[in-house]
Amino acid sequence: TLGKDMTFRDYSQGAYRMRGIGKGQTVVLLAPPEVLSLVRAHVALGAGRAEDEAAESLSAQEALHNIAAWLHVNSMRSETMQFNLLCEQSVRNVFRKRAFRLLVEARAKVGTKGEDGPTRAALDVFRDQIDLSIAPALGGGGLDLAGTIAELAVAHRDFIVSDEEKAAVAGIQQKLASANKQSESSAEAVEEAAFGGEQEQEQEQEQQQEQEQ
């Protein structure tokens, strides 16, 4: 059964568990209408045409081709999410290491009257603060990942001290910026292809109307 969050790897693993494919075993793919609408939308976007022009009656080979393409898109989306999470975790790991070393050295002070400011700050690094404030407006206003990482680095600058730690954070930010630039370039290419497809479609319609007249 095709799921909205399924990737090509999930699909392949499910198929290759059957060791007798081509020797009597076959794969039957069940695709809910909601998932098929997602497939059509992404395929139409990739082909540079309007979604309503995606053919409703496709051959089995064309349908499988479109589903495989959509599964690859889901795979890329999943990899992007994992990459973003890894970048954030890597930055947190830089200042958490120094905070952990400080806590190990001052472990006798933790929870006592002798607990000083740096020790409490190191403890706060491992605490998840709950923000109960209510936004003045719905939607928008949130930081992107690059902004979040920059904010984390500033908020924990007391634990990002050595040149090695600063270089590690800067390297992660540079890697993220490079990935975002590539993503933006790909998005622009898709938009240009879609615009070109619309123009070509309009020209074909005009030619058909002229021939009919």
Q: Look at residue 187 in the predicted model and tell me its pLDDT.
A: 55
* Distance in angstroms (rounded) separating the CA atoms of residues 147 and 153: 10
Q: Could you report the per-residue pLDDT of 12-69, keeping only the tens digit for each?
A: 888 888 878 778 888 888 888 888 888 888 887 776 665 555 455 667 788 888 888 8
Which of 2, 23, 20 is CA-nearest to residue 11?
2
Enclosing H/E stretch for 98: helix 60-105
Q: Look at residue 186 in the predicted model and tell me its pLDDT.
A: 57
Q: Look at residue 75 in the predicted model and tell me its pLDDT.
A: 92
Low-confidence spans in the chain with pLDDT less than 70: 47-58, 135-143, 183-205, 213
**Tell me, what amino acid is at 53?**
E
Q: Look at residue 94 in the predicted model and tell me its pLDDT.
A: 95
Cβ neighbours of residue 70 closer than 8 Å, sequence gap 6 or more = 38, 39, 42, 43
